[in-house]
Amino acid sequence: MTPDDAANESPCVRVCVIDPATGYCCGCYRTLDEISFWMRYTPQERRRVMQHLQARRTVAAGARIMD
Protein backbone atom coordinates (compact mmCIF):
# COMPACT_ATOMS: atom_id res chain seq x y z
CA MET A 1 0.00 0.00 0.00
CA THR A 2 1.37 3.39 -0.96
CA PRO A 3 0.97 6.53 1.19
CA ASP A 4 -1.64 7.76 -1.32
CA ASP A 5 -3.64 4.54 -0.83
CA ALA A 6 -3.65 5.08 2.95
CA ALA A 7 -4.73 8.68 2.47
CA ASN A 8 -7.73 7.60 0.36
CA GLU A 9 -8.65 4.45 2.25
CA SER A 10 -12.12 4.27 3.75
CA PRO A 11 -13.85 1.56 5.77
CA CYS A 12 -17.21 2.41 4.18
CA VAL A 13 -19.16 -0.62 2.92
CA ARG A 14 -22.25 1.38 1.91
CA VAL A 15 -24.39 0.11 4.79
CA CYS A 16 -25.12 3.49 6.35
CA VAL A 17 -27.27 2.83 9.40
CA ILE A 18 -26.40 4.17 12.85
CA ASP A 19 -27.00 1.72 15.70
CA PRO A 20 -28.69 3.72 18.49
CA ALA A 21 -27.25 1.41 21.16
CA THR A 22 -23.61 2.04 20.20
CA GLY A 23 -23.67 5.20 18.05
CA TYR A 24 -21.64 3.35 15.40
CA CYS A 25 -22.52 2.77 11.78
CA CYS A 26 -23.62 -0.86 11.33
CA GLY A 27 -21.49 -1.09 8.18
CA CYS A 28 -18.19 0.61 8.94
CA TYR A 29 -18.37 1.16 12.73
CA ARG A 30 -17.50 4.84 12.54
CA THR A 31 -19.43 7.51 14.43
CA LEU A 32 -21.46 10.15 12.62
CA ASP A 33 -18.75 12.72 13.33
CA GLU A 34 -16.05 10.45 11.91
CA ILE A 35 -18.13 9.80 8.79
CA SER A 36 -18.88 13.51 8.39
CA PHE A 37 -15.28 14.64 8.75
CA TRP A 38 -13.59 11.70 7.00
CA MET A 39 -12.61 13.62 3.87
CA ARG A 40 -11.05 16.38 6.01
CA TYR A 41 -9.06 13.99 8.21
CA THR A 42 -5.35 13.63 7.65
CA PRO A 43 -4.05 10.16 6.78
CA GLN A 44 -2.87 9.85 10.39
CA GLU A 45 -6.33 10.69 11.73
CA ARG A 46 -7.90 8.14 9.39
CA ARG A 47 -5.49 5.43 10.50
CA ARG A 48 -6.23 6.27 14.15
CA VAL A 49 -9.95 5.78 13.58
CA MET A 50 -9.39 2.59 11.60
CA GLN A 51 -7.32 1.12 14.44
CA HIS A 52 -10.44 1.27 16.65
CA LEU A 53 -12.89 -0.36 14.25
CA GLN A 54 -12.33 -4.01 15.24
CA ALA A 55 -12.87 -3.21 18.92
CA ARG A 56 -16.06 -1.37 17.99
CA ARG A 57 -17.31 -4.40 16.04
CA THR A 58 -16.85 -6.44 19.20
CA VAL A 59 -18.74 -3.88 21.30
CA ALA A 60 -21.55 -3.76 18.73
CA ALA A 61 -21.81 -7.56 18.65
CA GLY A 62 -22.09 -7.59 22.46
CA ALA A 63 -24.79 -4.92 22.36
CA ARG A 64 -26.81 -7.00 19.89
CA ILE A 65 -26.51 -10.08 22.11
CA MET A 66 -27.76 -8.09 25.11
CA ASP A 67 -30.92 -6.93 23.25
> What's the total number of domains in the chain?
1
Q: From CA 28, how far away is CA 24, in angstroms rounded?
A: 8
Average pLDDT over residues 32-50: 96
Q: Which residues contact 12 (CB under 8 A, 6 or more apart)?
A: 27, 28, 35
Q: Which domain holds residue 58?
A: 3-9+16-66
pTM above 0.85, yes or no: no
Q: Which pLDDT tens digit goes with each residue over 7-25?
A: 568 999 999 999 998 999 9
